[in-house]
Amino acid sequence: MKQTTKPAPTAQINKKGRPWAAWLIIVAGSGLLVLLMMFSITRGAAAIPFFAVGDALVRFDAKNTQHLIVLDLRLPRVIASALVGAALAVAGAVMQGTTRNPLADSGLMGLNAGAGFALSICFAFFPRLGYMQLILFSFLGAALGAALVGGIASLRRGGATPMRLVLAGAAVSALLAALSQGIALYFDVAQDIMFWTTGGVAAASWEQIRIMAPWILGALLGSIALARSVSLLSLGQDVAKGLGLNTAVGNGLCFLIVLILAGASVSVVGAVGFVGLIIPHLARYFVGVDYRWVIPSSAVLGALLLVLADLGARTLNPPFETPIGALIGLIGVPCFLYLARQQRMGL
């Protein structure tokens, strides 16, 4: 069973993937996700019986502490994890597909570095900012990073090819990260920033969700609408053009989707790496290379991973939080290593 030659591009597009596996993941995965979310709400520093959760949802009683914990702390947190997990995973899938680089993830587009840069400026110069303002600034920072990457990559004849995007992303990320590291060290706020960036969804609030959810949901729908274009682009720009795709528009829309998805998630949870890298690989392993299946499957798997990791973050060492990025690494690394050995990660 040694793979010697890669199938020709046309063979890849004809190979429709495994829709049944995708449907299984989407349907069963969504069911599992709901169950996991409900279970997650009952666990944490204070255990809450299952019926109290239902109670809190149906007949809310503002004097009942358990109801308050469920509605004000746990529920927004669980919903935020699911949204962010789906967003990061889909952003990664779209990037890997359009750039044909198995290492591409949202961190590479300058988004994480831009958000980090904005945060370090806030911490160093405006230490009194409130939570919502910090979120706003980190979103602006992410947008700035992405705009820099996109602008620099497309500033020449021929526009932004995927490889240029990735290279520009790496350089801009390095630059912004260096600047923020410098600011952090000079103004002695490195530790504060680290606690923010590893904090995960711990402080998610309804207000945050109200602001972010429409963007994330809209972009998720958009990515599903664009899935066919991503499939074509994953065969290479020339092939995509030859098959009748307007690649400039396709690339641009995909970039926009990634910006919204990753920017929104980074501003909520900080730089949670690895989700956008690993989940699309996992999804492709199960459903094949057709992005009409890869993208929705990634969304479900990403949400599952983040809800699970958040559950771990709360329950491993209560009442202290374990950094969620670390947990994702520990959950994800073994799966990823297994996949890498199987070499069924074709893009």
The C-alpha R_g of the chain, in whole angstroms, comes to 20
**Closest CB to another protein among residues 129, 190:** 190
328 binds another protein (CB under 8 A): yes
Residue 315 touches another protein, criterion: CB under 8 A:
no
Q: What angle do CA 227, 335, 333 make, to 5 degrees?
A: 105
Q: Which of 45, 174, 248, 249 binds another protein (CB under 8 A)?
A: 174
Q: Does 35 bind another protein (CB under 8 A)?
A: no
| CA nearest to 151, candidates 179, 178, 172 | 172
Position 27 contacts another protein (CB under 8 A): no
Q: 276: which DSSP letter?
A: H
277 binds another protein (CB under 8 A): yes
Q: Does 238 bind another protein (CB under 8 A)?
A: no
Site string for another protein, 177-216 (x = CB under 8 A): xxx-xx-xxx-x-xx--xx--x------------------
Determine if 2 is a binding residue for another protein (CB under 8 A): yes
269 binds another protein (CB under 8 A): no
Count Cβ neighbours within 10 Å for each residue of 58-91 and write b for 16 or more, e otherwise.
eeeeeeeebbebbbebbbbbbbbbbbbbbbbbbb
Q: What share of the chain is helix, strand, coil (3-state, %, to 5)?
A: 75, 0, 25
How many CB atoms neighbour CB 24 within 10 A? Answer: 14
Q: Looking at 9-17, 28-36, 251-259, 321-329, which segment touches another protein (CB under 8 A)?
A: 321-329
Residue 6 touching another protein (CB under 8 A):
no
Q: Answer yes or no whether residue 156 interacts with another protein by CB under 8 A.
A: yes
Q: Is 339 in the site for another protein (CB under 8 A)?
A: yes
User: What distance lies between CA 17 and its chain's CA centroid?
Assistant: 23
CA-CA distance, 112 to 188, in Å (whole number)? 21
Which pair of tokens denotes residue 331? 């959950």
Residue from 56, 69, 121, 172 in contact with another protein (CB under 8 A) = 172
Nearest approach in angstroms of CB 222 to another protein is: 27
- Is the separation of the CB atoms in 110 and 266 below 8 Å? no
Number of other CB atoms surrounding residue 225 within 10 Å: 12
Q: Smaller CB distance to another protein: residue 130 or 319? A: 319
CB of 217 to another protein, least distance (A): 28
Question: Which stretch, 89-97, 118-126, 158-166, 300-308, contacts another protein (CB under 8 A)?
Answer: 158-166
Instruction: Give the amino acid at 203.
Output: A
- Could you tell me which stretch among 63-71, 86-94, 121-129, 322-330 binds another protein (CB under 8 A)? 322-330
Question: What is the spatial distance between Cα 339 and Cα 325, in angstroms, rounded to a whole number?
Answer: 20
88 binds another protein (CB under 8 A): no
Q: Tokens for 187, please give them.
A: 């103004």
Q: How many residues bind another protein (CB under 8 A)?
A: 56
Tokens of 141: 């920072």
Nearer to another protein, 130 or 158 (CB): 158
**Distance in angstroms (rounded) separating the CA atoms of residues 149 and 219:** 20
User: 3-state DSSP call for residue 317?
Assistant: strand
Site for another protein, rule CB under 8 A: 2, 4, 101-103, 152-153, 155-156, 158, 163-164, 166-168, 170-172, 174-175, 177-179, 181-182, 184-186, 188, 190-191, 194-195, 198, 273-274, 277-278, 281, 322-323, 325-330, 332-333, 336-337, 339-341, 343, 345
